[in-house]
Amino acid sequence: VEQCDPARLELTALPNVPAIRSGDDLSAVIADCARDCAFTFADGDIVIVAQKIVSKAENRLLDLATVVPGQRARALAETVNKDPRLVELILRESRCVVRAQPDLLIVEHRLGFVMANAGVDQSNLAIEDGGARALLLPEDPDASAARLRDRLVARLRVAIAVVINDSFGRAFRRGTCGIALGAAGLATLVDQRGKPDFFGRTLRSTIVGTADEIAAAASLLMGPAAEGRPIVILRGLQLAGEISPASVLIRPPVEDVFR
């Protein structure tokens, strides 16, 4: 009988999220926005928050005028056609440069992400005092997700999980796709190896990047200007597997055949 009901997932973007400023408590923002639109949280909900508002709340905004590019940044900036101050910031945020060519700078971020520009973002930032500003990734997105989750659980008294998402470019495929930058309270990588399939043959290598699929789904609703709808709630996902941070989704260089 239960089998006759369709399985459902629901994604809800909270409306009217205010501009986020340094020091804002995102758990209060989320609770207020939900209350204002009569959205009620439930156990098992996954709250997906755009990286940009987490970075802003954590004051990861830098005035480019204060950045003095070194020699390496100036040389690299010529190669990639970018502002030398921006390249200096990118290098400070990175372990190494993975690919550099005109209009393309892919690095290994200090946290391990292989990504364009170390996630340093100039778009969607208000220009104040005539100065250009740049936004860095959160210091530790898994820790940010864990803190936000703790506060949300305390405030709302429901068992929820948190994912911080970002848009990454990809090898081999065009277009960006949402990925999980940080996570708390869910299995980010679900190992389906060894479970028999319908005909008894073993599934040999199905390890699913569940948190990245969650991040991608939320990204559909957030849209490109993530500040418009930066908070999305996913309801209905049957969470299985051992809880892990988003950092387990990063493929260690030793496993990586595409460096």
Q: How far is CA 219 from CA 71, 87, 163, 172, in A?
A: 37, 27, 12, 20
- Is 65 a residue that touches its own copies (CB under 8 A)? no
88 or 121: CB nearest its own copies: 121
**Residue 207 engages its own copies in binding (rule: CB under 8 A):** yes
Per-residue contact string for residues 24-63; x = within reach of its own copies by CB under 8 A: ------------xx-x------------------------
Tokens of 20: 């986020």
Strand bridging mode 46-50 / 231-235:
antiparallel
Pairing of strands 104-109, 114-116: antiparallel
Phi, psi at residue 63, to the nearest 5°? -80, 120
Task: Enumerate residues 165-184 that contact its own copies by CB under 8 A.
Answer: 167, 170-179
| Closest listed residue to residue 54, CA positions, set 193, 150, 203, 166 | 166
Taking CB under 8 A as the criterion, the residue among 22, 74, 228, 242 binding its own copies is 228
* Residue found under tokens 């399985």: 7
Task: Sketch the per residue contact string, 117 through 156, with its own copies: x for CB under 8 A, - otherwise.
Answer: -----xxxxxx-----------------------------
Task: Dig out the tokens for 194 from the structure.
Answer: 């060894």
Report if residue 157 touches its own copies, rule: CB under 8 A.
no
Q: Choose one: 55-63, 72-80, 149-157, 216-224; the region binding its own copies (CB under 8 A).
A: 216-224
